[in-house]
Amino acid sequence: MLKDWYFSDDNGVCDFRAAGVLIRNDKIFLQHVGNEYAVPGGHVSFGETSEEALIREFKEETGADIRCGRLIWVEEVFWKWGSKKTHGIAFYYLISLVNDKDLPDIYVEESNDSKGVMMRWVPIDDIKNLTVYPQYIKDKISCISDNIEHFVRKDW
C-alpha cells in the first residue's frame, strides 16, 4: 500500500490533493459534511499521478469510473486546522463519468465512513448560498477558463 502525500507533526500539516469537477444538467457533484461542501477527491499517494489518484479516489468513494479531462485549477492554501497550520496543494480536473448511470441525477449517498462524508448533486445556482471549498468556485464554476488558473489563499 502506498503512503498518502500527507505529512503531519505537532506544528503543522502538509498535503497534496486531487479533486474532480463533475457537472451535469446544471448541477455539480459535491461531497459534504454537515453544512460544508467541497469538490470530491482525495490525497495523492506517493508514486501516483494526480490523475491516477483522482480516478482511484472517485472509484473508492462513489463506485463510479471517471475520465479525467483537463486540469483547470491549481490551488495553494494555507489555513488553521484546529491548532495546526496547514499547507495544502490541490489540482482540480474537469471530469466525466464513464457511465452516466453510475451517478443518477437524484443520487444522494448516505455516509458510509466514519467521517460522515456524504455526496450529492447540487444545482450550480445554489452554491452561492453554501459554504463550499474551494471558495473561488462560486465565481469560477459558471465561467471556467480555457487556461489553467492558479489560486493562493493564506488564512494564517
Question: Exposed, middle or buried: residue 115 (CB in 10 Å: 0-12, 13-18, 19+)?
Answer: exposed
Residue 5 in domain: no
Q: Domain residues for 43? A: 14-151
pLDDT tens by residue, 49-97: 999 999 999 999 889 999 999 999 999 999 888 888 999 999 999 999 9
Q: pTM of whole model > 0.85?
A: yes
Handedness of CA 2, 88, 130, 148 (dihedral sign): negative
Domain count for the chain, please give it: 1
Residue 7 in domain: no
pLDDT tens by residue, 35-61: 999 999 999 999 999 999 999 999 998
Higher local confidence (pLDDT), 127 or 5: 127
Other CB atoms within a 10 A radius of the CB of residue 25 amount to 8
Residue 72 in domain: yes
pLDDT value at residue 29: 96
Q: What is the 3-state secondary structure (H, E, C) of the chain?
A: CCCECEEECCCEEEEEEEEEECEECCEEEEEEECCEEECCEEECECCCCHHHHHHHHHHHHHCCCEEEEEEEEEEEEEEEECCEEEEEEEEEEEEEECCHHHCCCCCEECCCCCCCCEEEEEEHHHHHHCEEECCCHHHHCCCCCCCCEEEEEECC
Grid cell 459558471 is found at 142
Q: State the CATH number of the domain containing residue 78.
A: 3.90.79.10
Residue 8 in domain: no
